Amino acid sequence: MDIRSHTIDAPSVYEAHKAVSIGLSKAHLAHNINYFKSLLATPTKTLCAVVKGDGYGHGMHLMVAELINLGIQTFAVSKIEEAKWVRYLAPQSRIILLCDPLPFCLDEVLQLRVEPCLNSLPDCELYLKEYRAFVQNGIQVHIKVDTGMSRLGLSPLQFKIILDKLPELPTTYRIGVMSHFAKSESPQDRATVMQCERFRECVRLAKSKGISTESHISNTSGTLNNLLRDETGLVRIGIGLCGGLAHPSLKPVLAWYTHLQYIQHITRGAGVGYVHMTHVARDSRVGILPVGYRLGYPVALSNVGRVEILGYSAQVLGRVGMDLMAIDLTDIPLADEQLRNQRVCLISNSVDHTGATHVAQLAKLAQTIPYELLCRLHPGIHRAWEDK
């Protein structure tokens, strides 16, 4: 073959990285769904799966398809583009659009039958102008009240003013009343107690005006901590479905793998990697992995992260690079030949929520949150269910 005339097809923008992969567990997803369902007082309460951020980095297409199999019929997303994807994957589902302003996406909202959150006065004013299209097509909206997060939503006073402006609506047409907790991990915190009180008051007010409401405020931690869980009609669960919290009743869905590509033997005192962030204190055996911050392994795990190889734990050595990182193989009692090309687990979906490669433990080490670790996994990494 004359290699000078050899041509190749254009690669796709996100050519899957051969040496890395993400495996997802259907069994763990089903377990987590069942756990949350068991917490809901009545089967009629809606479990809304939050699948923004590409399904928390798991791959929205995979997650939505499997969640439908598991009986989930309500999804929440952040952006209208995500809503399009969910509508494509789940033609019959309810889709709640959490963030995009209504004036930005009114036509698409109506076309796709998406339920927007009215997060501001301009959103509400537009709804008041266009409400007939919503009512005729049976498209619900959700008025968001800022009960203390100081991010999105109407103040309780603005909420009252908007309620007074609502036209008479058919009794079958519900209006969502929603809010979001700033500290749902801290149920006793004064700020959380205050948010609960303000929210209750808003729902009471809407009901007193004869409005048929669907109320919701709790995310994963709010639901786990029973913050108004039993008083509201819907819970919005994201990280909990992924098992991304260190909670004994949740199982991680996502595992991230790569392979050990190279092995280096270095002498005591040698500096490893960029800026010689570490110098080894003994003669060492160093493994090189084809993963770095470009694919989502945080620099903050330099020198502190841990990975697993053949059941052994190994520490990250030195600074995580763009496409490479080093691990310490010195204490592993296996020969180079036994280790080379072996699978390395960067994030594990084992049920041990205290394990060093559990996403919540890695996030703690990196001084971040599991949400960020998961969402930053590069979309070009191949994702697939491990248990078919």
Ligand X SMILES: Cc1ncc(COP(=O)(O)O)c(C=O)c1O
Positions in the binding site for ligand X (CB under 6 A): 50, 98, 180, 219-221, 236-240
Tokens (6 digits) for 135:
């009512």
Burial 144-158 (b: 16+ CB within 10 A, else e): bbbbbbeebbbebeb
Nearest of 75, 101, 78 to residue 86 by alpha carbon: 75
Could you give the CA distance from residue 243 to residue 58 in angstroms, rounded to a whole number? 11
Whole-angstrom CA distances from 366 to 35, 176, 227, 245, 372 are 28, 38, 29, 15, 10
**Least distance in Å: CB of 76 to ligand X?**
6
**Least distance in Å: CB of 244 to ligand X?**
8
Q: Given the complex with ligand X, which of 220 and 348 has the nearer CB atom?
A: 220
Q: Given the complex with ligand X, which of 150 and 208 has the nearer CB atom?
A: 150
Tokens (6 digits) for 165:
């402006």
**Least distance in Å: CB of 221 to ligand X?**
6
Name every residue whose Cβ is closer than 8 Å to that of residue 297 and which is 6 or more positions away in sequence: 291, 305, 320, 325, 346
Q: Given the complex with ligand X, which of 213 and 221 has the nearer CB atom?
A: 221
Name every residue whose Cβ is closer than 8 Å to that of residue 363 and which is 6 or more positions away in sequence: 369, 370, 372, 373
Q: Given the complex with ligand X, which of 50 and 286 has the nearer CB atom?
A: 50
Q: Given the complex with ligand X, which of 220 and 302 has the nearer CB atom?
A: 220
**Least distance in Å: CB of 222 to ligand X?**
8
Cβ(282)–Cβ(251) below 8 Å: no
**Least distance in Å: CB of 371 to ligand X?**
7
| CA atoms within 13 Å, Cβ hemisphere of 128 | 13
Q: Given the complex with ligand X, which of 176 and 305 has the nearer CB atom?
A: 176
**Least distance in Å: CB of 245 to ligand X?**
8
Q: Given the complex with ligand X, which of 135 and 375 has the nearer CB atom?
A: 375
**Least distance in Å: CB of 254 to ligand X?**
14
Which residue, chain included where needed, has tokens 């590509």? 261
**Least distance in Å: CB of 47 to ligand X?**
11
Q: Given the complex with ligand X, which of 22 and 239 has the nearer CB atom?
A: 239
**What is the DSSP pairing of strand 312-317 with strand 278-279?**
unpaired
**Phi, psi for residue 93 in degrees, rounded to 5:** -80, 165
> Which H or E run includes 317?
strand 312-317
Could you give the CA distance from residue 117 to residue 141 in angstroms, rounded to a whole number? 6
**Least distance in Å: CB of 263 to ligand X?**
39
What is the 8-class DSSP label of residue 276? Answer: G
What is the 8-class DSSP label of residue 41? Answer: S
* Residue facing ligand X at closest CB distance: 238
Could you give the CA distance from residue 24 to residue 267 in angstroms, rounded to a whole number? 39
Q: Given the complex with ligand X, which of 60 and 237 has the nearer CB atom?
A: 237
Q: Is 35 helix (H, G, I), strand (E, B) or coil?
A: helix
Could you give the CA distance from residue 227 to residue 119 in angstroms, rounded to a whole number? 22
Cβ(56)–Cβ(24) below 8 Å: no
